[in-house]
Amino acid sequence: MSTTVVSRILEGLPHTNTIVLPKLRIRFQIAAGDGANIGIAGVKYQILFSGVPMSEGVTDPNGEIIVPLVQARAGNCSIKIFDTEYPVQITPNWEAVDTYQGMQQRLDHLGYMHGHLMDATIDPAADGNINERTLHAVNDFLWDSDLPVDGEVTSAMRTKLTSSAGV
């Protein structure tokens, strides 16, 4: 995961967020299974977003590459390998966005739940319990979405959250 520190001032109160961008590991191999020596190593690839190359490289010794999960979930992400382009589609098994757990899952995916280290939990669970971390994440998302920053989870916020998270 890569980490970006973002500073923002909200109603005169300084906040520091750490946005965690998860990565998706993809393995290319010559046969099904997880045994040794079946990964296809040293093959050139490109990660494309809407047909535009975003990154390129060579598969590692295990035949693996890393794709930023945010790009993969946003849609229009593909991997070009062996001169063939393959779409990357991820459908998470999340709760409905109108539940607190579903809202937390989407905020977590977008990096908002990691922004406020109010306790020792590094990777908080989307447990449906509303706490200070969730309230900060909601307000930060509202701010970034140009919605009223009032801590309220409205239908407009849920719609924007679903659109932003891709699900």
Place 108 in a pLDDT band, splitting at 50, 70 and 90.
Answer: confident
pLDDT in tens, 21-43: 677 778 888 876 666 678 889 99
Give the domain 92-165 fold: Muramoyl-pentapeptide Carboxypeptidase; domain 1 (1.10.101)
pLDDT in tens, 128-166: 888 888 888 899 899 889 999 998 899 999 999 998 887
Are residues 109 and 119 in contact, defined by beta-carbon separation less than 8 angstroms? no
The C-alpha atoms of residue 134 and residue 112 are separated, in whole angstroms, by: 9
pTM (predicted TM-score): 0.50
The C-alpha atoms of residue 9 and residue 102 are separated, in whole angstroms, by: 27
Q: How many CB atoms lie within 10 A of CB 18?
A: 13
Contacts of residue 103, Cβ cutoff 8 Å, sequence gap at least 6 = 97, 138, 153, 158, 161
Sign of CA pseudo-dihedral 162, 135, 145, 70: negative
- 116 class by beta-carbon count within 10 Å (0-12 exposed, 13-18 middle, 19+ buried): buried
Average pLDDT over residues 79-86: 90
164's torsion region: left (phi>0), alpha (psi -120 to 50) or beta? alpha
Q: Which of 157, 137, 155, 138 is nearest to 147 (CA)?
A: 157
pLDDT given at position 4: 47
